[in-house]
Amino acid sequence: MATVTPNFNWPVPTSTDLVKDGATAIEALGDSIDASLVDLKGGTTGQVLSKNSNTDMDFVWVTDAAGDITGVTAGTGISGGGTSGTVTVTNSMATTITTKGDLVPGTGSGTFARLAAGNNGEYLVVDPNTATGLRYQGHIEAGKNALINGGMDFWQRSTSSTTNLTYTADRWFQYTSAGTTTFSRESSIVPTGSQYSMKIAQATANATITVNQAIETLNAVPYAGQTVNISVMCYASASTGMQLQLGYSTSTDVAPLGSWTNIAATTGGAATVTNAWQKMTGTFVIPSTAKSLYVSVFIPTLTAATNAYISQVMLEIGSVPTSFSRAGGNIAGELAACQRYYYRAADTSSSFGTVGFGMASSTTASAIWTQFPVTMRVKPTSVDYSNLILSDSVGTVTVTALTIDSNVTSISTGATSVSGTGQTQYRPMYLRQNSSSAGYIAFNAEL
């Protein structure tokens, strides 16, 4: 027999054993194996083999200590389960998600629902009136929009004009290559969330149109070196191409007709507009040297008998357009921002509203002061008026001329010399509307 010791001490026959005493050697090996495996005998149905000690081949049959799990049942938020074989469970909340950015908030005790991702730039707020108790809404904070009167809310000069190269809605300057274009305030065809839009009506000939706003240095320099997004809601009665343009200048307080350097859009900036409101957007990178900015909605060709509409124009920092917000944050703030550049004193609720007060300096002239509601951008450089009279509470005088007194006018008060025969020298005088709510006096401090 072998002298080596195998793992289980079984006597291993050698070649000599097999020649001389083969049967005996094989019998000895078999007996040894049989003795080693004796613990594998026995047991009953359902039992399992378990180690009895640390000794090799020492086993014992025992009853299976089965756990208390006899099946897997799907609970809240889980589907699948079973009592035998391979059991699969699925997270039901995970399968509710269908789109990048989705949320799955609770809707009650043990219930939930999908909340679709909001629009770019929106944030999440609690709202118990919605199915999920949450909703997305846009930012409306003041100062996000660098463009004043982007919602076309204010039209101090006139609600309709065909004069070329002039202001239409407050802060918006226009150019048309044909003299048949009417720019007017529109209240019927407007985007959701706005009361007004600007209607651009082309009557008899094709024209190139530009509606633009120059941003003064004080408001422009925070955008120098920034990536910005311009967006506008637009609509057209027939298919019309529109573009967004952004220009800059290294000079201070450049006017709309000044010298501008165009900035190419990095993304977007053009769209084909049809008779459904759509948002046109463009992303631009402003040079760090910019001191003045110029934003334009450009229509290369507005065909005859076609109407275009724009509203909710916004310039904001970042490459993603967010929901529209007024520069002033609300109506009062937006009006004040407009009046910083142009202020028209008028009382549309009265036929004899007072627009200034002063004293007769002679029998033919009065010195009149008009208080501005806000500090103007600079001392006004011009004044215009219509349908005004002078009154001393005894009689009235027809206004024949009105000029600005540049030596006395300031950023807070407008001073004018008002002519008209029949005044009483040194008597207090009121500058009033002449039996018409259309009467006004206006001061201009535009770029």
Q: What is the pLDDT of residue 271?
A: 98
Helix (H, G, I), strand (E, B) or coil at 17: helix
Question: Which residue did the predictor score with more confidence, 78 or 15?
Answer: 78
Q: What is the pLDDT of residue 5?
A: 62
Helix (H, G, I), strand (E, B) or coil at 40: helix
CA distance 25 to 57: 22
Is there a contact between 190 and 246 (Cβ–Cβ < 8 Å)?
Answer: no
pLDDT in tens, 203-214: 889 999 999 999
pLDDT in tens, 151-164: 999 999 999 999 99
As a whole number, mean pLDDT of residues 367-387 equals: 97
Most confident of 91-105, 133-147, 187-201: 187-201
Question: Which residue did the predictor score with more confidence, 27 or 298?
Answer: 298
DSSP lists the bridge partners of residue 156 as: none
CA distance 349 to 354: 11
Q: Which residues does 79 contact at the CB level (< 8 Å), separation at least 6? A: 89, 90, 92, 95
Is there a contact between 216 and 147 (Cβ–Cβ < 8 Å)?
Answer: no
pLDDT at 23 over 90: no
Q: Which residue in 181, 161, 165 sits closest to 173, CA to CA?
A: 165
Show the tokens assigned to 82: 């079973």
pLDDT in tens, 286-296: 999 999 999 99
pLDDT at 262 over 80: yes
Half-sphere exposure of 436 (CA within 13 A, CB side): 10
Identify the band that residue 71 occupies on the pLDDT scale cut at 50, 70 and 90: confident
As a whole number, mean pLDDT of residues 254-267 equals: 98
CA distance 366 to 396: 13
**In 272-414, which ranges are continuous DSSP H helix?**
331-339
Let me know if 267 is exposed, middle or buried by CB neighbors in 10 A (0-12, 13-18, 19+).
Answer: exposed
pLDDT at 201 over 80: yes
Q: What is the pLDDT of residue 365?
A: 98
Q: What is the pLDDT of residue 129?
A: 79
Identify the band that residue 141 occupies on the pLDDT scale cut at 50, 70 and 90: low
Q: What is the pLDDT of residue 372?
A: 98
Let me know if 142 is exposed, middle or buried by CB neighbors in 10 A (0-12, 13-18, 19+).
Answer: middle
Show the tokens assigned to 425: 């020298």
Q: What is the pLDDT of residue 273?
A: 98
pLDDT in tens, 381-421: 999 999 999 999 899 999 999 999 999 999 999 999 999 99
Q: Picking from 7-16, 52-61, 146-155, which range would have the lowest pLDDT averaged per residue?
A: 7-16
CA distance 169 to 91: 56
Residue by residue, DSSP assigns 183-237 as: EEEESSS--TT-S-EEEEEE-SS-EEEEEEEEE-HHHHGGGTT-EEEEEEEEEES
pLDDT at 366 over 70: yes
CA distance 368 to 380: 15
Q: Which residues does 276 contact at the CB level (< 8 Å), separation at least 6? A: 235
**Enclosing H/E stretch for 15:** helix 15-36
Q: What is the pLDDT of residue 18?
A: 57
Q: What is the pLDDT of residue 341?
A: 98
How high does pLDDT run on average in the chain?
Answer: 90
**Enclosing H/E stretch for 33:** helix 15-36
Q: What is the pLDDT of residue 17?
A: 64
Find how far residue 236's CA is from the centre of its chain.
23
Show the tokens assigned to 20: 């001389």
Question: Which residue did the predictor score with more confidence, 22 or 303?
Answer: 303
Beta-strand ranges (E) seen in 67-179 are: 72-73, 78-82, 89-91, 106-108, 111-112, 123-126, 134-137, 160-161, 166-167, 173-176
**In 69-115, which ranges are continuous DSSP H helix?**
92-96
Is there a contact between 170 and 147 (Cβ–Cβ < 8 Å)?
Answer: no
Strands 123-126 and 111-112: unpaired
Q: Which residues does 389 contact at the CB level (< 8 Å), separation at least 6? A: 396, 397, 398, 399, 420, 431, 432, 433, 434
Q: What is the pLDDT of residue 363?
A: 98
CA distance 11 to 145: 95
Let me know if 205 is exposed, middle or buried by CB neighbors in 10 A (0-12, 13-18, 19+).
Answer: middle
As a whole number, mean pLDDT of residues 324-334 equals: 94
Is there a contact between 146 and 226 (Cβ–Cβ < 8 Å)?
Answer: no
